[in-house]
Amino acid sequence: MKLLLVEDNLKLLDSLTHILKKSGYIVDTATDGKAGAELASLEVYDIIILDRMLPYQDGLSVLKEIREQGINIPILFLTARDSPDERAEGLYAGADDYLIKPFAISELLARLRVLIRRKTTRSLEPVINAAGLTLDPFHNQVTKGEKKFHLTSKELLLLELLMLNCGQVVTRESIMAKVWGYNSDSSFASIDTYVHFLRKKLDISNIKTVRGIGYYLQKDEENVLHG
């Protein structure tokens, strides 16, 4: 597995690089946002670890630039900012997961394994069709009519779960377990945020809320009026 680590704290950079290499990763590094964005566009990586506070170009703008280029590999966002609004900002920009500084190395390695396992699992799955949408897990791509959309790994997992259960309510507990994992410290508010992302990104209104229970994907998107 080839990994890009973008971190301006040289002591932390050296420590993480050593640990990641010992864990079997091939590691490229960058110490500023501009260099990180250039490497991400030139090289092929399996995962990117991206710090938010970077010189020359901050991590949030790097994240947006990477996604705008159609690069859809998993990105783990490192940040010392812990407010719900700032978390949502990073997730909406395209981060697949975030880790608040300071963090335990064991948690970092565990989160990397989860992101890579999800990516690998999706690559083996067939194309899914439901409610006027076609989901191709291998290419991280969703098609609606003539339009194609690229989603983050969590967006794909959530949409896939709803598409596989099209017309049936999926509880928040089930979504949390299958998309975030049983041991996640995320709240149900994260689910609401990602449903909002999907509705806006795909321009659909047939992801329906069952208040206090969960969500379901309405079968016939063509008959749904957009207000």
Q: What is the mean pLDDT of residues 180-199?
A: 79
Q: Is residue 117 exposed (0-12), middle (13-18) or buried (19+ Cβ within 10 Å)? A: exposed
pLDDT at 33 (0 to 100)? 96
Superfamily, domain 2-122: Response regulator (3.40.50.2300)
Q: Binning pLDDT at 50, 70 and 90, where does residue 226 land?
A: very low
Q: Which pLDDT score is estimated for 128?
A: 86
- Which residues make Cβ contacts (< 8 Å) with residue 155, sequence separation at least 6? 194, 197, 198, 201
User: Which pLDDT does position 215 carry in this prediction?
Assistant: 93
Whether the predicted model's global pTM rises above the 0.85 cut = no
* CATH architecture of the region 127-223: Orthogonal Bundle (1.10)
Q: What is the three-class DSSP state of 26?
A: strand
Residue 227 has pLDDT above 70, yes or no: no
Domain definitions of the chain by residue range: 2-122, 127-223
In this predicted structure, the answer to whether residue 224 has a pLDDT above a threshold of 60 is: no
pLDDT of residue 225: 36
- Quick count: other Cβ atoms within 10 Å of Cβ 137? 21
Q: Give the pLDDT confidence of 37-51 residue by residue, as tens digits.
A: 999 988 888 899 999
Considering only CA atoms, which of 92, 107, 61, 97 is closest in space to residue 77? 97
Residue 11 has pLDDT above 90, yes or no: yes
Q: What percent of the chain has pLDDT above 70? A: 89
Statement: residue 125 has pLDDT above 70: no
Tell me the per-residue pLDDT of 144-168, one tens digit each, with 9 for 90 and over: 988 888 887 788 889 988 998 888 9
Out of 60-64, 158-162, 168-172, 187-191, least confident range: 187-191
Q: Does residue 217 carry a pLDDT above 60?
A: yes
Question: Among 124, 186, 127, 130, which residue's Cα sits nearest to residue 154?
Answer: 186
Say how many residues make up the chain: 227
pLDDT at 182: 52
pLDDT value, residue 220: 67
Highest mean pLDDT among 47-61, 78-92, 122-136, 171-185: 47-61
* pLDDT of 19 above 50: yes
Instruction: Indicate the average pLDDT of the chain.
Output: 85
